[in-house]
């Protein structure tokens, strides 16, 4: 029996190591879902909303580092993918989206559910092409996979349902070596390294500012900080890679950061930005020397006026830089910054406690309690809004834990579906979603997916009855808050109605025991307070 295009797509994705596709079925996807039904290596993960499918694929990819796939049927089905795909694209993680299209003979005639996905998805992708002839396959799909993996972003294949069912050409998929390009190791040229060393050696008070580009550079970073006697400040994206086992750590900067991080950057005479595209210019110092190291040349100097910009992998660059550093003996800048950090850390920790004699549960206490009880290699997802604050300030990193949020796109409703995807891909790990009541309620229908697909992720809902960060921003801007109140249901009772173990905590004294029960429960506990 000859194979069709959908069969060839599944074979190609199998060569790329894909094990699942997240989505909602529809008639324009019938060829694909039938091919999946007979596949021995890949399966369909049935979500309740395509936005959750895109977030799930993004979450899986961010933790595994590998290609993840989602799909949507023609028209409204694949349109629902867009928000989650924007998050994946701006998180620079490889995701392939399969956007089904109406019958090819009807395109251009205003047919039922007709849209033009090849135009709609261009802004949130590194590759977006339509397959209009079976002869294009698997060539176009292979190009999409290479683009997503090689450029660390979203690739979109638009394909009509009738093309999926068409006879496939006699062409085998490329082997993995030709599909999955390895990340390059980019080391700056010798003159650039020497110029960077000269700038740092001339500085009296050097501060390092680190982002997610510091992944894998922890050891080299510690050695550079030691040589320069430099405090290390991190952006939220750098927290999981920088904060742990770090005697130079002085906290995060930014609106939700630490005063000590901000102060260490403004007290220096040389700032070295490493793997960060921190967008909030108002927190960056002026009137000092600034150097930046980034793998992407387009990011150099777009946030601050640079004295030196260097294209390179952070780890490789720091390793090559180390022998050129003179080493500093004056540690006063580091000592002052560390003392400030200890004061700031204590102030925040003092807020993360139960109030004696009061039932009120502070969100800081909840986040800290979860962090202390979670597994050493737990993965935490967190919603945009106040859960991001509590994650940034109270989740402790150790080099094995992971943090996943919507850090650049800034979408609500990301945490629970990201946890869904991560737990599906790594069932052996503890995966915890710190969901806001606003974000959770946007996509709470996919709580059913956890039950139906037997995905035992841990969901915690910060039930404060308000869009908290939005209300905070309104007040900070001098506006009376409006439209921020949330009249929430009993989320725990709702979970129980779905067959999910639901826990509701209303007294701070009960919190530690409730967290322990929640984390130990073998199924899908949903927990709210």
User: Which active-site residues does the annotation give?
Assistant: 50, 112-113, 384, 469
Residue 148's nearest CA partner among 185, 179, 116 is 179
State phi, psi for 404 to the nearest 5 degrees. -135, 125
- Please name the residue that has the structure tokens 């003092």: 350
CB 51 within 8 A of CB 27: no
Tell me whether residue 365 is exposed, middle or buried, using C-beta atoms within 10 angstroms of its C-beta: 0 to 12, 13 to 18, 19 or more: buried
Any residues with CB less than 8 A from the CB of 345 and at least 6 apart, and which? 251, 258, 260
Strands (E), 295-397: 308-311, 379-382
Helix H or strand E segment including 289: strand 289-294
Cis peptide before 138 (omega within 30 of 0): yes
**Nearest residue to 316 (alpha-carbon basis) of 348, 274, 358:** 274
273: nearest Cα among 248, 223, 244, 308: 308
Q: How far apart are CA 14 and CA 462, in angstroms?
A: 39
Position of tokens 């900070």? 476
State the CB neighbour count (10 A cutoff) for residue 269.
Answer: 15
Tokens of 316: 């490789």
Q: Which residue matches tokens 């060393």?
A: 197
Which residue's structure tokens are 């050129």? 324
**Separation between Cα atoms, residue 20 and residue 427, nearest integer Å:** 14
User: d(Cα 181, Cα 16) in Å, to the nearest integer?
Assistant: 11
In angstroms, rounded to a whole number, what is the distance separating the alpha carbons of residues 11 and 179? 13
Beta bridge partners of 207: 271
């Amino acid at each position: 029996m000859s194979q069709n295009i959908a069969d060839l797509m599944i074979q190609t994705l199998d060569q790329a190591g894909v094990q699942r596709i997240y989505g909602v079925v529809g008639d324009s996807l019938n060829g694909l879902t039938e091919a999946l039904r007979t596949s021995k290596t890949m399966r369909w993960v049935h979500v309740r909303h395509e936005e959750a499918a895109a977030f799930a694929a993004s979450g899986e990819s961010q933790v595994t580092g590998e290609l993840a796939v989602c799909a949507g049927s023609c028209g409204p089905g694949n349109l629902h993918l867009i928000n989650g795909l924007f998050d994946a694209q701006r998180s620079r993680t490889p995701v392939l989206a399969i956007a089904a299209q109406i019958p090819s003979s009807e395109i251009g005639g205003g047919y039922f559910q007709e849209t033009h996905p090849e135009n709609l998805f261009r802004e949130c992708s590194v590759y977006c092409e339509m397959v209009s002839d079976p002869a294009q396959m698997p060539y176009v799909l292979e190009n999409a996979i290479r683009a997503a993996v090689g450029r660390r972003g979203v690739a979109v294949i638009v394909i009509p349902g009738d093309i999926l069912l068409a006879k496939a050409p006699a062409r085998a998929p490329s082997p993995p070596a030709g599909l999955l390009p390895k990340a390059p190791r980019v080391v700056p040229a010798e003159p650039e390294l020497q110029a960077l060393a000269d700038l740092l050696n001339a500085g009296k008070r050097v501060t390092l500012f680190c982002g997610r580009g510091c992944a894998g550079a922890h050891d080299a970073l510690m050695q550079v900080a030691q040589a320069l006697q430099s405090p290390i400040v991190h952006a939220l994206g750098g927290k999981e890679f920088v904060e742990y086992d770090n005697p130079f750590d002085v906290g995060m900067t930014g609106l939700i950061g630490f005063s000590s991080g901000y102060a260490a950057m403004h007290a220096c005479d040389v700032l070295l930005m490493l793997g960060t595209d921190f967008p909030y210019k108002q927190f960056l110092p002026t009137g000092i020397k600034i150097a930046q190291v980034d793998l992407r040349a387009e990011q150099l100097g777009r946030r601050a006026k640079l004295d030196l910009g260097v294209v390179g992998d952070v780890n490789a660059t720091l390793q090559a830089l180390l022998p050129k550093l003179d080493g500093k003996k004056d540690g006063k800048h580091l000592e002052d910054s560390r003392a400030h950090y200890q004061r700031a850390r204590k102030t925040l920790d003092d807020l993360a406690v139960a109030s004696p004699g009061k039932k009120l549960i502070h969100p800081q206490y909840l986040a800290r309690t979860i962090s202390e009880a979670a597994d050493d290699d737990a993965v935490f997802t967190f919603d945009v809004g106040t859960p991001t604050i509590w994650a940034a300030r109270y989740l402790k990193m150790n080099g094995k834990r992971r943090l996943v949020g919507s850090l650049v796109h800034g979408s609500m409703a990301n945490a629970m579906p990201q946890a869904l995807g991560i737990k599906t891909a790594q069932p052996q790990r503890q995966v915890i979603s710190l969901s806001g009541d606003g974000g959770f309620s946007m996509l709470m229908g996919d709580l059913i997916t956890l039950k139906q697909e037997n995905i035992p992720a841990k969901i915690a809902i910060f039930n404060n009855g308000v869009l908290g960060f939005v209300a905070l921003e309104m007040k900070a801007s001098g506006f009376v808050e409006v439209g921020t109140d949330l009249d929430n249901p009993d989320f725990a009772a709702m979970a129980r109605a779905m067959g999910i173990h639901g826990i509701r905590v209303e007294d701070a004294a009960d919190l530690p025991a409730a967290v322990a029960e929640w984390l130990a429960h073998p199924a899908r506990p949903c927990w709210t307070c």
